[in-house]
Structure 1
Amino acid sequence: MKQPLKQVNFYKRALVQGCVQGFKADDALSLHLENPAGGAWFAAFDTQDEESTYNRLVVDGDFSGVKLEILAAVAPADSALGVEKITTFLESDAAPTEKMAMLMTLAHVREVNRPDILLHDLVGRWIFLCVAVVPQDGGNAVLRGVHLEFPRYSFTQYFPEIYQQDDFFRRYIAIFQSLYLDLEHRVEEIPLMLDYTCAPDEQVEALAAWLGIDTAGGIFGPEQMRILIKESALYQGGKGTRSALEGVVELACGVRPRIVEYFQWGKLPMSAARRRLYENLYGTDSNTFCVILDLTNRDTPLPVNQAQLENLIRAYSPLGAQHKLVFLRPCSYTDNHCYLEVNSCLSTPEKAAVDGVTLGGYFTVG
């Protein structure tokens, strides 16, 4: 069904761009009540239609232990107060109660503790919205967004004319109309929910699971999972290959690994002592490989711990293969060899007393 409804959504940037008092925006651009005395959000919208009607207003959020007050007021373009004067006053530092009192001089609908209200009685080009919250008994509130529908639309138009004149019947049918239209809206959004580029963060992991993509026990964030889905031919189709393993380790750690396999050094001529050294470092046969991460120029720790990284490497390794994981750090003790031409320092110079102190497990006298 195609309903003649226009929709305006005040979410995220549109939400925080309104006049906000007593709320603070978080990283997701939702508004959290910050002032213990209460908070309010105001916004204005121009429909460009002097005879515009309105259908419904829905406030999306969590309001526990608070008094929620919703106010919607309309004004024609030639309002006695003046639209410019109203919007300027709403954007000022005046108290929310003063702003609400001014809006209530206009034609308005006001409801308390009802986040879903009908606006069928309002007519006017400009609509001014207010969501006010007053805490009670230590309550808290989160305002995620506001949804406005216009023009007025009712399922009673499909009934005989005698029912269309009954205000109680119109409000009664509006309950089922809201349920139906909300469900229809969710159905229309399904294609967006299946698009990994714009799906909500909580939906991306479900999409990855539907596509059979290994999320490595939840170590990947939403943006990393979007990359896994986009490059599934590499990360999933190439699972068990060197390129896939290098890519997934870099995605998890932010560091491109160096992978050394047996064939790269096993046929090289070398002394028995050096061969034993290489076998201890890289493995003894073709079923073993070594993953080396150079952390010598990194100031922050890896975003994953060693156990998670080991599991990730194991998940992307060929069946039956064994691996070694080596971290290059500024203070690695390498004895008589180095890794990949990166010389690690044997110790960090420190001052010591003549009676001897322990540095790195060794006694040093200075």
Structure 2
Amino acid sequence: MEPIQAQMVFCCAEQWMGGYFYQVEPWGDGLRLDPGHASTGVYCLTAVDSGETGFLWGRAAVEADLPADTALRIYARAADTRRWEDWPDLDRGIQSLGASPMASLREIFGAPVSDSGDCLLPCVGRYLWIMLELTATGTQAPVIRTLRLWMRGDHMTDYLPAIYQGEDFTRRFLSIFDSMYTDMDRRIDTLPGQMDYQHAGGDLLRYLASWVCVERGGSEEELRQRIRTALPDYEDLYTVEGVRRSVRRLTGRDPILIEPFQVSPNRPDCQDPVLYRRLYGEDPYRFFVLLPEDTFSGQRERELFQRDMEAVIPAGMTMQMIQLKPCVQLDWHTYLGINARIGGYVPAVIDEQATIHYDTTIGGANHE
């Protein structure tokens, strides 16, 4: 058995806009209960034309996000004509309902056909109208993502002897297993698309990210960007640019990196070896990361950053982080409104416990 199902799928904003909204609003490519109004709202889909008189409608499935204290009900009505009582067109009649349409809508559609998102439609007629009712008693609003209508296609009863094909009970009973089979088959067919990180979301996107060792990330778009550049990122992970990118990703700030050779007191052009030896030491396997003072909100966040950086720096290297305070540097001839001048500097030693203070000057004039 290879079921070929003809479906009509409503999954984008343009498809919803022609319907009737009552305390329900468009939300992305779906629908959402308007959180600023009452706890109940409805959406009525315009007539779906099967093109066949006496058409036997099958299954409807709604994919929705239903948090706690929310509910979804599905209403359906079918007929071979668009007319309903005095209205020559049911769609236009619904659009003309007043401020309190619920009583009229329930009279048109009757009892709900389902209190869940997947149901069989007990409807016969060329035209089908669907009403979706959303209810929320808490603070979260339910969201409808997709509506699927099974129009026609193979059914398990089609493979039974003719005497069973006309039995309504047999068809409805086998529809339970038919829907399970077709859903499973559809998931298998769409599996390659679900494994595409550009379209996946939620837990599946984080699972795909773990395949390329992208364990942390903010929004889904940031995760996709990191997956997209995972290979070149790993190629230069332990370079200067790679370390700078890791700091930027973890803190959101652009750091200043100081490597040992830049401040080595043994360089021929070093004007004050004693000072540089006190400031930076002589460890050739330690580099410095300078960040603004307000980069971290507390000690715990600072410790987490240092722990995470240990995994993305070259083996055998150690990192020392220095937080800088914003300041104004006064030169030797700087006048403050009185006949005074500022001079001199305070040397500092950079080690695991010290930070560079705002009044610290690295270097100095030759005569000092």
Shorter-chain TM-score: which interval?
Answer: 0.7 to 0.9
Report the equivalent of 1:200: 201
Q: Name the SS for the 2:8 alignment partner.
A: strand
Deviations 1:300-336 (A, max 9, x none): 979x932332233211101121001223342699964
C-alpha deviation, 1:261, in angstroms: 1.1
Which region of structure 1 is more displaced relative to structure 2, 71-80 or 202-211? 71-80
Inter-partner Cα distance in structure 2 for 1:301 and 1:45? 56
8 A Cα contact 2:113 2:121, kept in partner: no
Deviations 1:83-137 (A, max 9, x none): 55145237x6443332332345xxxx83242432212633324x3221224568x
Report the equivalent of 1:323: 319
Q: Name the SS for the 1:309 alignment partner.
A: helix
Report the equivalent of 1:246: 244
C-alpha deviation, 1:9, in angstroms: 3.1
Sequence identity (%) = 19
Report the equivalent of 1:119: 121
Report the equivalent of 1:285: 283
Distance 1:85 1:23, change over 3 A: closer
Structure whose alpha-carbon radius of gyration is higher: 2
Inter-partner Cα distance in structure 2 for 1:324 and 1:28? 48
Inter-partner Cα distance in structure 1 for 2:244 and 2:180? 49
**1:81 lines up with 2:88 in the alignment:** yes
Instruction: Return the TM-score normalized by structure 1.
Output: 0.73
Distance 1:194 1:133, change over 3 A: closer
8 A Cα contact 2:71 2:142, kept in partner: no
Inter-partner Cα distance in structure 2 for 1:30 and 1:332? 54
Output the amino acid matched with 1:88. Q
Deviations 1:265-308 (A, max 9, x none): 322423133213441xxx63221111223578x9x979x93233
Deviations 1:223-268 (A, max 9, x none): 2221221111133333322222222322333333232211223224
Inter-partner Cα distance in structure 1 for 2:107 and 2:67? 23
8 A Cα contact 1:12 1:28, kept in partner: yes
Distance 1:78 1:17, change over 3 A: closer
8 A Cα contact 2:77 2:129, kept in partner: yes
8 A Cα contact 1:69 1:112, kept in partner: yes
8 A Cα contact 1:44 1:87, kept in partner: no
**1:314 lines up with 2:310 in the alignment:** yes
8 A Cα contact 1:224 1:251, kept in partner: no
Report the equivalent of 1:177: 178
Report the equivalent of 1:99: 105
Unmatched tracts of structure 1, length 5 or more = 348-366
Q: Name the SS for the 2:113 alignment partner.
A: strand
8 A Cα contact 2:78 2:125, kept in partner: yes
- Computed over aligned residues only, the root mean square deviation of the Cα atoms, in angstroms, reads 4.0
Report the equivalent of 1:147: 147
8 A Cα contact 2:9 2:147, kept in partner: yes
Inter-partner Cα distance in structure 1 for 2:118 and 2:168? 18
Inter-partner Cα distance in structure 1 for 2:205 and 2:71? 35
Q: Name the SS for the 1:44 alignment partner.
A: coil
Inter-partner Cα distance in structure 1 for 2:14 and 2:321? 44
Report the equivalent of 1:353: none
Instruction: Return the TM-score normalized by structure 2.
Output: 0.72
Report the equivalent of 2:73: 69
* Superposition pairs of residues 348-363 of structure 1, within 5 angstroms: none
Q: Name the SS for the 1:315 alignment partner.
A: coil
Report the equivalent of 1:38: 40
Unmatched tracts of structure 2, length 5 or more = 331-344, 349-355, 361-368
Inter-partner Cα distance in structure 1 for 2:249 and 2:15? 33
Inter-partner Cα distance in structure 1 for 2:220 and 2:17? 23
8 A Cα contact 2:263 2:276, kept in partner: no
Inter-partner Cα distance in structure 2 for 1:57 and 1:144? 13
Inter-partner Cα distance in structure 2 for 1:274 and 1:206? 51
Report the equivalent of 1:164: 165
Output the amino acid matched with 1:116. D
C-alpha deviation, 1:186, in angstroms: 1.6
State the number of aligned residues.
327
Report the equivalent of 2:351: none
8 A Cα contact 2:135 2:142, kept in partner: no
Report the equivalent of 2:5: 4
Output the amino acid matched with 1:100. R
C-alpha deviation, 1:202, in angstroms: 2.4
8 A Cα contact 1:219 1:252, kept in partner: no
